Structure 1
Amino acid sequence: MIGALNYKTVAKTHDFRMPENVKIGRNSFFSIHEDIRNLNPTKIIFVSDKGLKNAGVVEEVINELSIHNIPIEEFTNIVGEPDFEIVQEAIDFIQKHHGDLVIGLGGGSALDVAKASAALVNKEPIIVEKILAGEAVPEAKGVTCILVPTTSGTGSEVTMNAIFGDHKNDVKRGIVSPYYLPDIAIIDPVLTVSCPPMVSAASGVDAFTHAIESYVSKKATPLTKMYAEAAMKRFSKNISKVVFNGSDLDAREEMSWVSFLAGVSLANAGVGAVHALAYPLGGKYNIAHGVANALLLPYVFNVTGKTCIDEMVQIADFLHLGDFRDEPHQAQNAVVDYLYGLLEALNLPKSLKELHVVEDDLRNLAIEASKVSRLLDNTPFKLNMESIHEIYQNAYDGTLN
């Protein structure tokens, strides 16, 4: 059997990565005590955002962790969408306080800062500078990291990606490495109950974006599609419930599964053009990542869905839109109409004009988006600068041509 193998033939191997330890379920947060006892750190660095700090959540959690009598230092300078400068601040903070365990609590912004800084601490400054500039990748992990999400959407707690603002180029840019995966992810739906309706809507559709884009991506495998399918099926039944009845813990738990399942699929199959077009909007206009993704979804798939009709038929089935096996080309229209209807149903913006994007900026946005080759190359439709500009124009006008 071995003799039949030819080492000169390029192997087609699919890596599949996720955190070594994932804990998901109601009140799973309290399992962190066992993790801290097992890890036995000498100094904990607690990373969160100012919103959770001002709401008293940070103090409540730190009081819970204080039973271990381990010194805890807070890093809560994160406001809104993070940039590369705040990551460097966090790295410096961890090194200054000699932290050997980073615990990140919050939405995608806090979790991205926590996992990136935990991975890049204790490295030569010139190496960190190159990594944050996208010119290098880490070759080893810095310190141990535990991530605890308080929203259901970004999937940051199970992905190798972290997204930050690049002010020099007015874009958002992702950095990717297995070393950004946390050592432990704790996904407790109880922590998401206080998430406000707008955040629940944007983060929830962000998770769906991960699922649908990774499902049709060029790097998709049967394993990643299994995760994405499960996420999409749960999403359609629960997104409205968490937006309009946030105390529905059953729906919150289901959306936690959506975020986790879609995040795992994203981490291994990648995403595509929706994210590529969202990055410049976040960089120039500070539009929240989930809002940008949600708005762009119908306009992008109105174009890119043409080359993945079989997947559109399957997705229409997952979303309970009907059986299109006998008329597969109608499936794309059904899916796009569903995505557009989501915006209205969840009170999300339906056009870039509503977000005060300047029409004269659309061409420059298209130029920047066309540079995100890592994501565009993973999209089952060849988009160029002109076709991207047309998508932006339709999104600006709020029309599906």
Structure 2
Amino acid sequence: MFLDFNLSSIPHIIFGAGRLNEIYELIPQFGNNVLYVIGRSSLKKSGKWDEIEYAMHKNSINFSEISVNGEPTPILVDESVKKFRNQKIDLVVGIGGGSVIDAGKAISAMLPKMDTIKNYLEGVGNKTHDGRKIPYIAVPTTSGTGSEATKNAVITEVGIGGFKKSLRHDNLIPNYAIIDPQLVLSCPRSVSSSCGMDAFTQLLEGFVSPKANPITDELAKSGIKQMKDAIVHISSEKASDITVRTSMAYGSLISGIVLANAGLGVVHGFASSIGSLFNIPHGVVCGTLLAESTKMNINRLEQLGTKGENGLLKYAIVGVLINGRESFENINVPFYCSILVKTLENWTKQLNIDRLSKYGVTTADIDNIIDRTGLKNNPVHLKREDMNEILINRI
């Protein structure tokens, strides 16, 4: 077999229940002036912020905080940087969901700069970030985006002329990622459900991507194995089971590593375009479109004959994993592709993933959405009518 691939760096990963406490041992290596980027209310409601404040005072560490509500915007990042640029911040710590992690990542990257983040966003600005940043520690409190393991921060501006674009550089990968499943126990079930579907989407799209390699394949399979049984429990009474949350946290982390190296497909293409037009959670877009997009991809791969065999085999392998089989020998490809699609459809129903119409998306918006949607790293080319069908079925 001829192999030819790249593999990006990952953060120093600290994974396990209760391991957030190790952050106080890490901080001194960076300095004594810390900026915390947190969510608007969830961390404080859970009581964890009180514990963090107590520990910071106990360890004589100076700190400030900034709260993030929703996906980070250029205005939020620019105003945060302006406020703290002259305070000689030694370390930025992001504790929250994917939006908070991205906001912290962007703020750490822009604190050394003197201009707006828009100038450095892909497809928006005309500058390339040089990688200089304030050290950054990412601590996720949801299991979804895997942003704790990626080198980009997604910045959103919603509306006509809006965008959902990345600030990206290899050096923007967090210095440390602390994944403590105990922090996810208080995450609302509806949020857990959409985030979980986002993580699974990233594992699946990365696995079937043309850019996938043997390492990302094995990582994706390990994440799928962990998530396949846990995902249906995150909206049930078992959501408070630490083993369920640990499996989801692992799957989310691995999905970030996989997407950073293998890329993503049409579901995330839709998520980017829809997210730039409507105030809709990223995980909801992924969760609501995953089954339909997977079904369409499989149908189009089947039409390619022998050229589609590799893509179909990969989808079938995921079906095998979900079905609990360990052997990939003599796979009935059509059968296990069908198992995969049916399972994704069942998850969408079981987890009560909303349709796009709940957030104001109508059939009149479809053309604009498709115009903005990229198919980079999708395993098969989709025609405009294919994308139209996917959207109509979930509006």
Pick one of 256, 281, 284 that aligns with 1:263.
256
Deviation at 1:248, TM superposition (A): 0.4
Contact 1:313 1:324 in 2 (8 A): no
Pick one of 35, 60, 66 that aligns with 2:26.
35
Matched residues in 2 for 1:258 and 1:268: separation? 16
Q: What residue is the counterpart of 1:155 in the other structure? A: 146
Return 5+ residue gaps in structure 1 as ranges. 1-10, 397-401
Q: What residue is the counterpart of 1:6 in the other structure? A: none
Alignment pair present for 1:353 and 2:357: yes
* SS in structure 2 at match of 1:381: coil
Deviation at 1:100, TM superposition (A): 1.6
Pick one of 114, 119, 125 that aligns with 1:130.
119
**AA aligned opposite 2:353:** L
Contact 2:213 2:262 in 1 (8 A): yes
1:75-154 superposed matches below 5 A: 75-76=66-67, 78-125=68-115, 128-132=117-121, 133-154=124-145
1:316-395 superposed matches below 5 A: 316-320=319-323, 325=330, 327-349=332-354, 351-369=355-373, 372=374, 376-395=375-394
Measured against aligned partners, the alpha-carbon deviations of 1:73-131 in whole angstroms (never above 9, x if no partner) come to 1111x1122222212222223313221200110000110000111022212316x4420
Q: How many residues are treated as equivalent by the alignment?
A: 376
Contact 1:324 1:330 in 2 (8 A): no
Measured against aligned partners, the alpha-carbon deviations of 1:111-166 in whole angstroms (never above 9, x if no partner) come to 0000111022212316x442033433311221111111111111111112322212
1:142-221 superposed matches below 5 A: 142-167=133-158, 169-221=161-213
Q: What residue is the counterpart of 2:294 in the other structure? A: 301
Q: What residue is the counterpart of 2:239 in the other structure? A: 246
Q: What residue is the counterpart of 1:7 in the other structure? A: none
Pick one of 52, 56, 62 that aligns with 1:61.
52
Deviation at 1:59, TM superposition (A): 3.7
Alignment pair present for 1:312 and 2:294: no
Measured against aligned partners, the alpha-carbon deviations of 1:279-300 in whole angstroms (never above 9, x if no partner) come to 2222222110011100010111
Deviation at 1:325, TM superposition (A): 4.2
Q: What residue is the counterpart of 2:273 in the other structure? A: 280
Contact 2:131 2:172 in 1 (8 A): no
User: Could you say if the C-alpha distance between residues 326 and 265 of structure 1 is closer, same or farther in structure 2, counting changes exceeding 3 Å?
Assistant: closer
User: Could you say if the C-alpha distance between residues 118 and 358 of structure 1 is closer, same or farther in structure 2, counting changes exceeding 3 Å?
Assistant: same
Contact 1:17 1:267 in 2 (8 A): no
Return 5+ residue gaps in structure 2 as ranges. 302-307
Using structure 1 for the length normalisation, give the TM-score. Answer: 0.88
Using structure 2 for the length normalisation, give the TM-score. Answer: 0.89
Contact 1:73 1:97 in 2 (8 A): no
* SS in structure 2 at match of 1:186: strand
User: Could you say if the C-alpha distance between residues 237 and 157 of structure 1 is closer, same or farther in structure 2, counting changes exceeding 3 Å?
Assistant: same
Contact 2:264 2:376 in 1 (8 A): no
Identity of aligned residues (%): 30
Q: What residue is the counterpart of 1:226 in the other structure? A: 218
User: Could you say if the C-alpha distance between residues 166 and 230 of structure 1 is closer, same or farther in structure 2, counting changes exceeding 3 Å?
Assistant: same
Deviation at 1:230, TM superposition (A): 0.6
Matched residues in 1 for 2:166 and 2:265: separation? 13
